[in-house]
Amino acid sequence: MRLFLLTTLVMVAFAGNSILNRMALTGDETGPAAFAMVRLGAGALFLLALIRLQKKPVPWRAPGRIWGVLTLAIYVLGFSFAYVSLQAGVGALILFAGVQVTMFAGALWLREPVPLARWLGAGVALGGLVVLLWPTGASPPDLVGAILMAAAAFGWGIYSLLGRGIVDPLGATGANFALALPLGVVCYLALPDGLAARGAMLAVLSGAVTSGAGYALWYFVLQRLQSSVAAVAQLTVPLIAVAGGLLLLNEPLNLRFVFAAALVISGVLLSLWRAGEKTQ
């Protein structure tokens, strides 16, 4: 139950991060490069402060650190720039479908057992996301935005796979954010854009809470989940984001959402059918 609650909290943080990013990029006042830079900076400051309070060393030179930094930067930058041209629903679908494919491939590469029920559950949950998020119009998604979001999905999937071997989740996440910040600064200097006060506030909240603290907790949870389970669990994030819109933004409840929610929840439950396969 404790693991379930922690995983649920992480998924809520991820959904909140998506909402904050979309809110900040609405309009022309705040740009994706500025938002990503502030997000990385806020996450780094928050996490390094927590590490200092605990009087622990920052694992700057841990094995594989460069890959954690690069994949985090790819995710953060790709995510921000993709939402400039993509609809929110299509972007979320590309992101979490890509994450699922990446992490399932990683599970096979690591020779983890992936039962048939988990494959079926992942397919059902992904089908629910398609029902929920695919636009009703016939126009295809923007190609550049789709490529950027696919890159973000690859980055986040690899970042999550790397987190399964981390013994110090807080220290690893803090070091990753701090070392990824210069990449965010370089991106901003190369592609300078605006940053309004509201956008900066949302970027700080996203970086410190839903990204920094959320990712550190995710690295902790990943120690207790198989890669394929972690991949399926993340398919609930777009559903939570839409539910947040219903509750916080007074968006109308419709039959499409109810049907999609039933599919996603059924798929996740199916993938976790045997309790013995939930954890390592």
- Tokens for 274, please give them: 């045997």
How far from 216 is each of 10, 164, 177, 246, 262, CA to CA, in Å? 9, 12, 11, 28, 30
Q: What is the pLDDT of residue 258?
A: 75
How many Å apart are CA 167 and CA 13, to the nearest integer?
A: 22
Q: What is the pLDDT of residue 72?
A: 95
Compute the average pLDDT of residues 33-58: 93
Q: What is the pLDDT of residue 135?
A: 64
**Mean residue pLDDT across the chain:** 81
Q: Which is more confidently placed, 45 or 99? A: 45
Amino acid at residue number 81: F
Q: Residue 35's pLDDT band (boundaries 50, 70, 90)? A: very high
Instruction: Give the chain's end-to-end CA distance (angstroms, integer).
Output: 15
The pTM of the full predicted model, rounded to 2 decimals, is 0.81
Q: What is the pLDDT of residue 276?
A: 45
CA-closest candidate to residue 81, choices 210, 193, 234, 215? 193
H helices, E strands: number in the chain: 12, 0
Backbone angles phi, psi at 205, to 5 degrees: -65, -40
pLDDT tens-digit readout, 184-193: 999 999 998 8
pLDDT tens-digit readout, 248-274: 656 566 677 677 778 777 877 776 665
Contact 163, 175 (CB under 8 A): no
Compute the average pLDDT of residues 56-65: 89
The answer, yes or no, to whether residue 275 has pLDDT greater than 70, is no
Compute the average pLDDT of residues 180-203: 92
Count of structural domains within the chain? 1
Q: Which domain holds residue 85?
A: 2-277
